[in-house]
Amino acid sequence: MKLYIYDHCPFCVKARMIFGLKNLPVELNILLSDDEATPTKMIGQKMAPILQKDDSRYLPESMDIVHYVDKLDGKPLLTGKRNPKLEEWLRKVNGYVNKLLIPRFAKSAFDEFSTPQARAWFIAKKEAAIGNFDEHLAHSAGLVKNISDDLRTLDKLIVKPNAVNGELSEDDIHLFPLLRNLTLVAGINWPSRVADYRDNMAKQTQVNLLSSMAI
């Protein structure tokens, strides 16, 4: 199978996670951010992730990919219950975290920005959506304090380092991509249980953290 992704994209990380958790091989193909033709040819619109299945048909939408791959062998891994408190935590943090992350994505060495045109396309598109990147970066200190405070709340919700609720569930698929992308932000205070969970999930899913590029 082949998976078409952007490296920075949390939805793409969700799709990558299930292959790592199930130890299944997948060929990763990173699309340039300004490449509209390739995904449109596959599924009729610009979107990622896209899974090309073994029968050559295409499957978009991250959670559809996760469920498809998880059930392929008849032995699903994501059988744990979800925690409403964790869902509430994610809603709160996702309300502001893009102001920290998206300007940093634009400055980082992701393969989807490997041409000047691809990086410029991303900056123009996202600044139109969230505002000037330099202004957001200038206000990072307050947002870093906010996320550090919210991670302390998350610390109390983590049951085990290999599954946030004690048994693998969709909550892990939604939580880890956010934590992975937050490793791109310098200065965050990581509580011990959150850090252990982050590092353990990176190993389990075979998805790299971004600490070496932190800004």
What is the arithmetic mean of pLDDT over 48-65? 97
Tell me whether residue 199 is exposed, middle or buried, using C-beta atoms within 10 angstroms of its C-beta: 0 to 12, 13 to 18, 19 or more: middle
Other Cβ atoms within 10 Å of 26 Cβ, number: 19
Taking only Cα atoms into account, the Rg of the chain, rounded to an integer number of angstroms, comes to 17
Full strand arrangement of the beta sheet holding 2-5:
27-30, 2-5, 50-52, 58-60
In order of start, what are the domains of the chain with their CATH numbers?
A: 2-71 (3.40.30.10), 87-213 (1.20.1050.10)
Q: What is the pLDDT of residue 210?
A: 98
**CB of 62 closer than 8 Å to CB of 12:** yes
pLDDT in tens, 126-168: 999 999 999 999 999 999 999 999 999 999 999 999 999 999 9
Report the pLDDT value the prediction gives residue 164, as an integer from 0 to 100.
Answer: 98
Segment 159-188 mean pLDDT: 98
The answer to whether residues 83 and 172 touch, using CB atoms and an 8 Å cutoff, is no
Q: Is 27 exposed, middle or buried (0-12, 13-18, 19+ CB in 10 A)?
A: exposed
Dihedral, 160, 11, 75, 85 alpha carbons, nearest 10: 40
C-alpha angle 93/146/7, rounded to 5°? 50
Report yes or no: 87 and 4 within 8 Å, Cβ to Cβ: no
- pLDDT tens per residue, range 66-87: 999 999 999 999 999 999 999 9
| pLDDT in the model for residue 169 | 98
CB atoms within 10 A of CB 38: 14
Q: Give the pLDDT band (50/70/90) at residue 50.
A: very high
Q: What is the mean pLDDT of residues 26-31?
A: 98
